[in-house]
Structure 1
Amino acid sequence: MKIKCIAVDDEPLALELLSKFITQTSFLELIGKFSNAIEALGFINQNEVQLIFMDIQMPDLSGMELARILDGKKNSEKTRIIFCTAYHQFAIEGYKVEALDYLLKPYSYEDFLAAATKAYQYFDRVKDSEILTTPRESASSPEYIFLKVEYQLVKVMLKDITHVEAYKDYVKVHLKSKPNPLLSLTSMKNMEELLPSDKFMRVHRSFIVALDHIDSVAKNVIHIGNHQIAVGDMYKDQFLEFLSRWMN
């Protein structure tokens, strides 16, 4: 499945970077790029656009104003928005127009990919179930993520991940189905944000564990298969709270 996208930003360099990120993401298709929201609106009215990556502060018509116009249109749920802006104070307004995500400039490709993955999961659920849900409902229970591994994006099922381990500038994603972990150029912080908090927990500055894959716990050491993972001091309270619920 490819998602039909447009990029909208009045800053030429920001527009080119956004277009580059869209183009290099395998499940996105860039069908237009615009330096103002009025031109973008004209294009949207004449073409099928599923996803808009858009700045907020633009002359004549702002990104937020365009979002409100689209929100009032029939079948507006078929077009979703990811805001890309340098101003964090618009986050609440973005939530009100049901934006899928909110990228704060300057953002990395890893940040962009995490937001794009949310969009992929949203449209995939709409396609499979034929029931249009809100972005918040669809984003709450993802089944997979996309990881940048070498020069490709790899789809990884969440139920296959046993734990994530920090490794220099990379992370090792350990899978139940493979003997060797996937090595991805991203940060533990980004992985922590990408993985659903009801299924994964950070227990150490160097480890995130899949709660369903924990085999046993003894003296603040988690056992997952043949792996032993110590619970760090700053994460003990949160883990003990989970453990108390797990034992009841």
Structure 2
Amino acid sequence: MIIKCIAVDDEPMALNLVVSYIEQTPFLQLVDKCSSAITALRSIQDHPDVQLLFLDIRMADLSGMELAKIIDQGTSRRDRRIIFTTAYDQYALEGYKVGALDYLMKPFSFADFSRAAAKAFEYFSMFEEAKQVPVTRQVSVTPDKDYIYLKVEYQLVKVDTGHILYIEGLKDYVKVFLDNETKPILTLTSLKNLEEKLPITKFRRLHRSYIIALDKVKAVTKNSLQVADITVHITDQYKDAFAEFLSSWA
């Protein structure tokens, strides 16, 4: 898989460093390098298939953060992501709000860059996989079972809730693990939205990042549970819900 990207920085040395890192990374393809956010905006318009921006924040005329907000208004941030590069750590929270994939603090090494690039590779790999998996592979239709509908790219997929093991939340998308599939379904929604679709008698959010199918729990301790091949440690926020589950678990 090749990820098309643009490097944006108004400092020539910083820009050239990012470009050199991109060129050393086999799965990244440099489409353009830009010395301002305005130039980058034009480049994005000229190259609508660009997926990833390595974007400096403090720049003259238009800041990287302002550019990120413009991009978010014009296209889904799920198929175009941003990795911020900056010398100022006070922008981390604002970067999260605009859906930044990662946040590199200058000066950063090639190892730091590679970790952020690997995160982008994992994201876009799952994104592409979700688009290519056929509906028939994901659906097990029986009339007497409950279902939910998940948005998987350009289609709604009907999923038998009886096959759900657990659901993992990852920022603006979630992974749904099934007992009849080797790979999870990737759906572009939030864990909170998905929690509201599921029956509370069968599913419970017992961790910030996980919803658990209660009948798929294999073992419990006083502060953790095991489902499929993972162990979920219960935090204080969910200890009351976990205590309620323990009282009825057998």
Q: TM-score normalised to the size of structure 1?
A: 0.54
Paired residue for 1:103?
104
User: Which amino acid is 1:8 matched to?
Assistant: V
- Alpha-carbon distance change, 139 to 106 in structure 1, aligned in 2, over 3 angstroms: farther
The count of residues paired between Structure 1 and Structure 2 equals: 144
Aligned residue for 1:72, secondary structure, equals: helix
Q: CA deviation at 1:136?
A: 2.4
- Alpha-carbon distance change, 54 to 15 in structure 1, aligned in 2, over 3 angstroms: same
Cα deviation code 1:81-126 (max 9, x no counterpart): 0000000000000000000000000101110000000100010001
Is the 8 Å Cα contact of residues 100 and 136 (structure 1) preserved in structure 2?
no
Distance 2:170 2:92 in 1: 15
Is the 8 Å Cα contact of residues 84 and 102 (structure 2) preserved in structure 1?
yes
Distance 1:126 1:118 in 2: 12
Is the 8 Å Cα contact of residues 3 and 51 (structure 2) preserved in structure 1?
yes
2:116 maps to 1:115: yes
Q: CA deviation at 1:73?
A: 1.1
Distance 1:78 1:12 in 2: 28
Map 1:130-141 to 2 at 5 A.
130=131, 131=152, 136=171
Is the 8 Å Cα contact of residues 77 and 99 (structure 2) preserved in structure 1?
no
Paired residue for 1:41?
41
Distance 2:126 2:114 in 1: 18
Aligned residue for 2:78, secondary structure, equals: helix
Distance 2:67 2:175 in 1: 26
User: Which amino acid is 1:85 matched to?
Assistant: T
Map 1:124-163 to 2 at 5 A.
124-130=125-131, 131=152, 136=171
Q: Where has structure 1 moved over 2 Å in runs of 4 or more? A: 74-77, 134-141
Unaligned runs of 5+ in 2: 132-151, 154-168, 177-209, 211-228, 231-250
**More displaced 10-residue stretch of structure 1: 86-95 or 65-74:** 65-74
Q: TM-score normalised to the size of structure 2?
A: 0.54
- Alpha-carbon distance change, 139 to 2 in structure 1, aligned in 2, over 3 angstroms: farther
Distance 1:46 1:135 in 2: 31
Unaligned runs of 5+ in 1: 142-197, 199-211, 214-248
Distance 1:32 1:123 in 2: 19
Map 1:59-74 to 2 at 5 A.
59-74=60-75
Map 1:15-54 to 2 at 5 A.
15-47=15-47, 48-54=49-55
Is the 8 Å Cα contact of residues 7 and 53 (structure 1) preserved in structure 2?
yes
Is the 8 Å Cα contact of residues 3 and 29 (structure 2) preserved in structure 1?
yes
Cα deviation code 1:47-78 (max 9, x no counterpart): 12100001000000000000000111133422
Higher Cα radius of gyration: 2
Q: CA deviation at 1:135?
A: 6.4
**Aligned alpha-carbon RMSD (Å):** 2.5
State the identity as a percent: 53
Distance 1:78 1:64 in 2: 18
Is the 8 Å Cα contact of residues 81 and 101 (structure 1) preserved in structure 2?
yes
Is the 8 Å Cα contact of residues 99 and 135 (structure 1) preserved in structure 2?
no
